[in-house]
Amino acid sequence: MSSQAPLGFLKRDMKRVFLSLAFGVLATAGAVISSPAAPLVSAGPVIHIGDVARFYKVYDAAHGHPTAQELQREYIDPGSPGLHHLSHVRNVNGETIAKAIASHPQMFADARPCMAGLPRVRKRVVAALDTLARLYPKAEFPPVTVAVSRGKPAGEADATGVIIGLEATCAAAYLNPNVEDRFVHEIAHEYVHVQQALQSPAFYNDQKPTVLQASLIEGTAEFVATLITHEIGFRSPYASADQAQNNEVETKFIADENKTDLSQWIDNGTLATPGDSGYWVGYRIVKSYYEHAADKRRALHQIIEMKDARAFLAKSEWYPGIQL
């Protein structure tokens, strides 16, 4: 399962400086080399960003209106392994990107300026992943690919690595109005999904998860991301407006938790509203489990390596409206 981070519909001139800025990584003729100034956590990750520069070369040559054929031939086909993987798992190709540009041209025009803060993002991400490595020594850090997609997903992750959709993440201001904070959380969220995919592949990759299972997968990524990035006073964009409404949402969740129709809970936001109440309820259940655990380090391992959603829920001591 992907972390669509959670854009239902989704989930700025930087060409000359882009490759030297983003995440402190240098790219030359398609090669990606980590900057020695700020070493990454053990075993990675390497950040691949060449796809974005290539996309905007095609985009600019076509004055913002590239054809499906141009996008496929000049952007997708010569792309990185991460972009090819995204193309395979999320239907990202020349045709779908061209349709997205035609429908929401401003989203793609506005994406480049988001890159300006990424050197700071990289430093914070490295610190967050160092924290994850200390708290969870099993953690692995395969590559990150930053690419342009079709308006979604903002993030995708499996055992092979993390893919960040530049235009989707930039457009999702409701996730966090601070672009730097938004990218840090998004990448941390996706790296939690990587660990889930590695440690509990059957659970994470279930093609017909229940509402409870899918919500716990996403809630785990939300909770652990806030833990390793030290997001004090975290306010989820998927949370209800007030306590009464939150109780109502969580009570309805209980009625739906065994359903395999996720449409009311996961990946149901729009460009203007987040939706994805399952992320919030899942976060609350996971947080309850963690807060009630005497051994926090052991609890973190159990959260990341979750394999039985109903057993986890029973041990969490969560109930609608619980104060955490």
- What is the distance between the alpha carbons of residues 182 and 170, in angstroms, rounded to a whole number? 9
Residue 307 located in a structural domain? yes
Span 210-243, pLDDT tens digits: 999 999 999 999 999 999 999 887 888 888 878 8
Span 98-119, pLDDT tens digits: 999 999 999 999 998 887 777 7
Q: Residue 7's pLDDT is what? A: 43
The CA distances from residue 240 to 64, 85, 139, 278, in Å, are 38, 35, 32, 11
* Domain identity same for 39 and 171: yes
Return per-residue pLDDT of the chain as tens, 324 residues: 444 444 433 343 333 333 333 444 333 333 332 333 344 454 446 888 899 999 999 999 999 999 999 999 999 999 999 999 999 999 999 999 999 999 999 999 999 888 777 778 888 888 999 999 999 999 999 999 999 999 999 999 999 999 999 999 999 888 889 999 999 999 999 999 999 999 999 999 999 999 999 999 999 999 999 999 998 878 888 888 788 888 999 999 999 999 999 999 998 877 667 889 999 999 999 999 999 999 999 999 999 999 999 999 999 999 999 999
Among the candidates 151, 172, 203, a domain finishes at 203
Domain that holds residue 93: 15-203
- What is the distance between the alpha carbons of residues 135 and 305, in angstroms, rounded to a whole number? 13
247: exposed, middle or buried (C-beta count within 10 Å: 0-12, 13-18, 19+)?
Answer: middle
* Domain identity same for 176 and 42: yes
Q: Residue 98's pLDDT is what? A: 98
Residue 2 located in a structural domain? no
Please answer whether residues 253 and 265 qualify as being in contact, where contact means their C-beta atoms are separated by less than 8 angstroms.
yes
- What is the distance between the alpha carbons of residues 222 and 228, in angstroms, rounded to a whole number? 10
Residue 323 located in a structural domain? no
* Domain identity same for 68 and 171: yes
Residue 260 located in a structural domain? yes
Among the candidates 203, 220, 252, a domain finishes at 203
Q: Residue 25's pLDDT is what? A: 39
* Domain identity same for 232 and 270: yes
- Packing angle of the helix pair 277-292, 309-316 (nearest 10 deg): 60
Pairing of strands 144-147, 47-48: parallel
* Domain identity same for 275 and 191: no
* Domain identity same for 102 and 166: yes
* Domain identity same for 254 and 167: no
Residue 80 located in a structural domain? yes
List the Cα angle 10/15/17 in 5-degree steps: 115
Q: CA dihedral defined by 173, 174, 175, 180, rounded to 10 degrees?
A: 30
DSSP 23: G
Among the candidates 164, 188, 203, a domain finishes at 203
* Domain identity same for 260 and 236: yes
How many domains does the chain contain in total?
2
Q: Residue 275's pLDDT is what? A: 86
